Chain A
Amino acid sequence: MSSIDPRINRLNLPENNDGKEVLDELEQWETYEVFHQKKRGDQHVHVGIVHAANPELAIIMAKEAFGRRRQTANLWVVKSSAVTATDYDDQDIFETTPEKTYREASDYYCMDRIRKYQQEHGIKDRKEDRRKKKESV
């Protein structure tokens, strides 16, 4: 095989390599789920998977794959096989009938009462402060 990349030529690849070689069992590593935390105190958010031979190597791989181009405080890796998941066939268990919106958080209007209580008791609403600060910038 001839390439404009000298590194490829140095590999002396066979002419008819169709790229369909089957990997040996040992070359098939487990996957680890990667969770990324932007700032200390934030939630860890699932960002993807890496292949690795052990958890330490998974961390090493995850650092470059998911921590390289964004602000990062911390990473978790968890063996994919350690995750227990719901079945997509059971997705209907998440459905709520329209008449039962009182079971959903969005059905409750209580912020006005919370703010009133905070004002009466001199409690600062930090979220509100942050929002105002953001708007003023």
Chain B
Amino acid sequence: MTHTVLVTGVSRHIGARVASVLAADPDVSRVIGVDTVPPPSLTRAGGVSLGRTEFVRVDLRSPDIAEVIAVADIDTVVHMSLVSAPSRGTGRAVMKEHNVIGTMQLLGACQRSATVRRVVVRSTTAVYGSSPRNPAVLTEDMEPHDGPVHGYAKDAAEVEGYVRGFARRRPDVAVSLLRFANFMGPGVDSPLTRYFTQPVLSTVFGFDPRLQFVHEDDAVEVFRRMAKEDHPGTFNVAGAGVLLLSQCARRAGRPSLPLFSPVFHALGDVVRRAGLVDYSPEQVRLMSHGRAVDSSRLESELGWKPKFTTGAAFDDFLRSRGLHPFGGAR
């Protein structure tokens, strides 16, 4: 069976990689990529060849997306257009609209479509929040003690609510909800990767959070498999194991500067206003209490394990940025 796949968020690194992998797949007859901005050119750093992907510039917040789905007879929708940090110019309100209203429009269009059979949505493990009262290792069924109240994590939690509503209304559509740990890899540009490339890493005094990463190659592979086969349900996606923040800093060869948490918060505000690194309140909570998830449901569903452990994904990222631990290469 051949597929016609719609991929949202193709102008961003992971989205572009997923679109190009699907475009290269003989079972996929057509890939339509949409985003609010055109993809970066190949000559620029971070440009990924989209292959035979057809790009359509659509603002997800507008109902135009319904037309794209109807005209192209889309059967699989891969929704990965979630913005994790406000861009410098626009700010939080635009980000929230993009994430939440955009998803509502897209799901509305899918609901009316007679051709859509499969919907894959990118979410994040940030929906579990970071709390000293959460279990150490989270599974998909757990209700977090302190749910997210800020930014990206709150958007993702709201998006998940709409996705679950959609799955109830259209039980004939296979809906996969993927909760990814932080992406890590040579091409990833996120608040967290920018954090680790700073000359000095500010940390919260007295806390050493557990962090988990998923390598971009593994993330792309998960999206590819989910787009090609039915795997309904909610799945955590993370590389095996955890790294402590102190361990990450040592591997990156970066000195860390422990700050008392009120100072960290205040500094976070200043730095955020200056538009440098994202120290959103959720990021600060992550930097205090950390988070780890259990991906075994995904592994048994797909019969496949992420190739990169959390540690290997981080090391690959460090290699690509030329970062070494103190005392030379590993």
Binding partners A and B? no
